[in-house]
Chain A
Amino acid sequence: GAVVSQHPSRVICKSGTSVKIECRSLDFQATTMFWYRQFPKQSLMLMATSNEGSKATYEQGVEKDKFLINHASLTLSTLTVTSAHPEDSSFYICSARDLRRIREKLFFGSGTQLSVL
Chain B
Amino acid sequence: GESVGLHLPTLSVQEGDNSIINCAYSNSASDYFIWYKQESGKGPQFIIDIRSNMDKRQGQRVTVLLNKTVKHLSLQIAATQPGDSAVYFCAEIWDSGNTPLVFGKGTRLSVIA
Interface of A toward B, CB cutoff 8 Å: 6, 31-32, 34, 36, 40-46, 49, 91, 93, 95, 97, 99, 103-104, 106, 108-111, 113
Q: Are B43 and A42 in contact, CB atoms less than 8 angstroms apart?
A: no
- Of B49, B98, B105, which contacts A97 at CB under 8 A? B98
In the assembled complex, the CB of B101 is this many whole angstroms from the nearest CB of chain A, namely: 6
Nearest 9 Cβ contacts at the A-B interface: A108-B43, A41-B7, A44-B103, A34-B100, A111-B43, A43-B103, A43-B106, A110-B43, A108-B44
Q: Closest residue to B36 on the A side, CB-wise? A: A108
State the CA gap A97–B101 with chains docked (Å): 10
Q: Smallest CB–CB gap between A99 and chain B, Å?
A: 8
B contact residues, total (Cβ < 8 Å):
21
Report whether A93 and B43 are in contact in the complex, using a CB–CB cutoff of 8 Å: yes
Given A104-B49, A109-B43, A110-B43, A95 and B6 contact (CB-CB distance below 8 Å) = no
Query: Could you say which residues of chain B place their CB within 8 Å of the CB of A108?
Result: 43-44
**18 extra A-B contacts, CB within 8 A, seeds A40-B7, A42-B106:** A6-B43, A34-B100, A34-B101, A36-B103, A41-B6, A43-B103, A44-B89, A46-B101, A93-B43, A95-B101, A99-B98, A104-B46, A108-B43, A108-B44, A110-B42, A110-B43, A111-B43, A113-B41
